[in-house]
Each structure stands twice: as C-alpha cells, then as structure tokens.
Structure 1
Amino acid sequence: MKIKIMIVDDQRLMREGLKTILDLEEDLTVVQLGENGRDALDKIPSVQPDVLLMDIRMPIMDGVECTRIIKQQYPDIKVLILTTFDDDELIIDALKNGAVGYILKDFSSEKLVVAIKDVYNGNFIMQPEIAAKVISRISGKAKESVCYNTDAGLNINLDLTDREKDVLKLVGKGMANKEIANKLYISEGTVKNYISNLYSKLEIDDRSKLTIYAIKNQYI
C-alpha cells in the first residue's frame, strides 16, 4: 500500500516539483496539493493523507497554525515541516503544535523520501543543525517550558524509573517504538506502556512534546 502524501506550499513551482519527484517512488503517491494552511484544511477530508509536507510561512494560514488544527482534528496525520526557514522560534512552535519533524528545503530528494517513510513509521525527524538550534534555544531559556499546558519541562527530578528514562532517551533520539524495543530487548507493547506512563507523569500528550522534553532536560 502506498503512503499518501499531501504537499502544502505557497510556491507553485515547489509543490509541483516535489510532486514530480515523489510520484516516481513506487511506495509513495501525492494525493493532493495545497497553497496554504486554509487550503490544506479544506482539502484534507477528501483525500485523508498519511503524511503532510508543510511549508511554514504562507499567506492566509501559516504552517504552525495549520499543524495545530490538523493534530486536533486528524491526529493520525503526520506533519513534516519542509521549509527554507531555520528560525528557532518557528522550529519550536511547529514542534510544540504536533509536527513530527522539521527539515530544510536544501535536503536531497533521496533523504526527503527516507524522511517521509520514517515519519510514516513513527520516527521523529530533525536535521542535526536543526536539533542543535532547538537544544541551544531550550538550554538558553531554561526557565521557559516548551511543553505547553504543563510545567513538566521545568522539572528534571520527576519520579521516573530507570527504564522510563531509557525509553525517554531513545524517544529523544527520534527512534520509533520498534527500534526502541529492539534496543532495550523488550516488546513493542511494553514500549507503548512506558510511553503512556511518561505522558501521564510529564503531563505531555504527544510524541513531539516528549521529544522536546527529552532534549530540554538533557536525556540525549
């Protein structure tokens, strides 16, 4: 079964070029194109994409706001931010609102294909230079929680078990549940249980925020 992709970018040449590239892959298919966040929200119900490639700065509705709404209304859709902008505020805003990755448009087509497949399979994707910006930003503002609706990001002394810390570390590195299970020699079901426990203890409700928490509190 092919991975269904939607591309949202205000530059026609960019979205059509990406479509041409991605449609060459046997296991990928671009099912829709969008000009901005509002256009994307209007079109999503008719195509139900698995992965949405989202630009971040667009007219009418930007990628951050669109991602927030998508994660509320369509929590199973994976939003991968693809942009020319590497502003740290935008990076953190996008991740806080549910994006599962943030990559720049200078990414090679081969790496983009791999990134799409990775996020579809549950991985968290971030280029090293983007990760460095996030870590620098968070470390520089230790009193600012990037996990909204919670102060968990301020507390590194919560009552986590050693195994929960192990799982948190690997989530922070972007590993999928299967990879974590293999690394720790436990079942995927057990990994899911540990992640559920982490959500509860840290008052976090999705994997991107859990990843940010791990980075903020230097678990990786």
Structure 2
Amino acid sequence: MEQVLSAIRQCANGQIVYPASFKSILMKRLERDVERSPVTLEKAIGKLGAFSKREHELLILLTQGETNQQISKKLFLSIGTVKNYISRIYKKLNVNNRPELMALLYGLQNSGMKG
C-alpha cells in the first residue's frame, strides 16, 4: 500500500513512475554513457534544434536524472515553471515523456555523429 501511495505522490510531483529495476538499468547506462562522452551529449542536444539557455540547462538536468523538484531548487524556479519548460522541450522534440527524451538523446549520442 505504501508503494502505491508513494507512486501517486511521485506522479503528483511530476516524476515518472516505472519499475525500479528499469530505472536502475536506464540510469546506470545513461550515467556511464554521459561520463564517457559528455561532449557528444552536448553535440546531441545541439543537433536537436534551437533551445533557449534555460531549456538547455533543463535538458542537461533531465539527462542527469533530476526530478522536477530538484530542477526547481537548482534553477530557482517554481515547479510550475519547470513543468512548463519541460512541456516546451517535449513539444519541440516531439516526445511525450522522459524515457522517450532519453531514448532520443541516447540514439543521437550513439549514432556516430562526430564533429
């Protein structure tokens, strides 16, 4: 019962809820890949299109697995403002959620794009 309540709270705070095993695997892989090639991640974000400085900051924090609340505190923004920025980013990239965003970035990062 506590897990269900926790999942509801997480959803209410703008977090994604999926099995811990999936999250663990995804985040370890992304962290490893980001550590291995942070320049490529920057290039991948740059290839996606024009982002404002703030959107770019949010994209970086999203790829680091930060929650909306953590982003809010780090960037001194309200949760609502963070959600609005994230919605704009999703719309620009034609994705619906963080896993889709991560898959897009991961795909670009590993597509062999150099230069």
TM-score, length of structure 2 as denominator length? 0.63
Q: Deviations over 1:187-213 (max 9, x none)?
A: 111000000000110101111122334
Q: Indicate if the aligned counterparts of 1:169 and 1:214 stay in contact, CA closer than 8 A.
A: no
Q: Which runs of 5+ in 2 are unaligned?
A: 9-14, 110-115
Answer 1 or 2: higher relative contact order, Cα 8 Å, separation at least 6. Answer: 2
Q: Is residue 2:51 matched to residue 1:80? A: no
Letter of the aligned partner of 1:190 in structure 2? Answer: T
Q: Which residues in structure 2 correspond to 1:198-213 (within 5 Å)?
A: 198-213=89-104
Q: Indicate if the aligned counterparts of 1:177 and 1:188 stay in contact, CA closer than 8 A.
A: yes
Displacement after TM superposition at 1:132 (Å): 5.6
Instruction: Give me the whole-angstrom Cα distance separating, in 2, the residues matched to 1:164 and 1:131.
Output: 20
Q: Indicate if the aligned counterparts of 1:167 and 1:195 stay in contact, CA closer than 8 A.
A: yes
How many residues end up aligned between the 2 structures? 96
Structure of greater Rg: 1
Q: In the alignment, which residue of structure 1 is the partner of 2:112?
A: none
Displacement after TM superposition at 1:164 (Å): 0.4
Pick the structure with more helix per residue.
2
Displacement after TM superposition at 1:217 (Å): 5.4
Q: Deviations over 1:75-128 (max 9, x none)?
A: x9822263xxxxxxxxxxxxxxxx6x143xxxxxxxxxxxxxxxxxxxxx622x
What is the root-mean-square deviation in Å for CA atoms of aligned residues? 3.6
TM-score, length of structure 1 as denominator length? 0.35
SS of the counterpart of 1:212?
helix
Q: Indicate if the aligned counterparts of 1:172 and 1:215 stay in contact, CA closer than 8 A.
A: no
Instruction: Give me the whole-angstrom Cα distance separating, in 1, the residues matched to 2:48 and 2:63.
Output: 17
Q: In the alignment, which residue of structure 2 is the partner of 1:196?
A: 87
Instruction: Give me the whole-angstrom Cα distance separating, in 1, the residues matched to 2:95 and 2:45.
Output: 13
Q: In the alignment, which residue of structure 2 is the partner of 1:177?
A: 68
Q: Which runs of 5+ in 1 are unaligned?
A: 5-26, 29-49, 52-75, 83-98, 104-124, 143-152
Pick the structure with more strand per residue.
1
